[in-house]
Structure 1
């Protein structure tokens, strides 16, 4: 049973690590050139926060999977919503840091926020602990959404130009 818990807890880190590997060179160059709000957390805080959040959401998904008896018809909606939000989560970094598409990153994070709310709503009757484990993630997404909006608003010319 511990192997399943470990696997579910580790799974979200795959996309986070891949996104970081693909875009890490953009932080000291392009990202540092952006106008950012004064309340933005320091860069060193992001890996610590995301490691904690990915582990928590992964373990939460394990609790739901376990309570539903695995991947079956009862799991389609709650774990489907979780998978969809995870895909949007993983897409944000390449959109923002890789493609420099601030507008698409903003749309992504707002859709992500809605999917996380939907995930939590679907999980609540199944496992309240799993739902509570998603609360810090939702709180961080509130900050991330606000930060993405402010960066998009304050840097209208910092998106990559389309090459037609």
Structure 2
């Protein structure tokens, strides 16, 4: 059964805000570690400016959060039918803020995240197509980030295992 009234709005806001909370906590806990090693890396000219990231993630997290609400609502809440679709979503949200100390670890992490995000999209498509479509900007961002990570890994051999930092 679909929710109505005030409880619908509370759940909608809660689900939409949830990824922002995780993203903020991840940034806050790791804000001093990330720039130090990342800034030293050779990056391609098409690497987005650091100023783009907060804007991009705000939009992406809002769409993802609202989409998760749509799926949750269509499945009637936290039922057994919600375990896989929302479990995949939760797993990729957990993977997202990982701080990596080497480029290879970052590459492995983003490839895992890609798989979880595609799995989430596929599982949501059968439940709510609007929710699945709301994930497409996120998958586009991940595709760019994956290409960027591969390029950085390739162009920074001194940060590969077996090389001294």
Q: TM-score, normalised by structure 1?
A: 0.88
Q: Does residue 55 of structure 2 align to residue 54 of structure 1?
A: no
State the match for 2:137 in structure 1.
Answer: 136
The alpha-carbon distance between structure 1 residues 160 and 23, as it changes in their structure 2 partners (threshold 3 A), is farther
The alpha-carbon distance between structure 1 residues 27 and 104, as it changes in their structure 2 partners (threshold 3 A), is closer
Instruction: Kindly state the Cα deviation for residue 159 of structure 1 after the two structures are TM-superposed.
Output: 6.6
Q: Distance in 2 between matches of 1:73 and 1:28?
A: 41
Q: Which runs of 5 or more structure 2 residues have no equivalent in the other structure?
A: 1-7
Give the CA RMSD over aligned residues: 1.9
Give 1 or 2 for the bigger CA radius of gyration. 2
Question: Which consecutive aligned stretches of 4+ in structure 1 deviate over 3 angstroms post-superposition?
Answer: 26-29, 158-161
Q: TM-score, normalised by structure 2?
A: 0.87
Q: Distance in 1 between matches of 2:109 and 2:35?
A: 23
Q: Which runs of 5 or more structure 1 residues have no equivalent in the other structure?
A: none
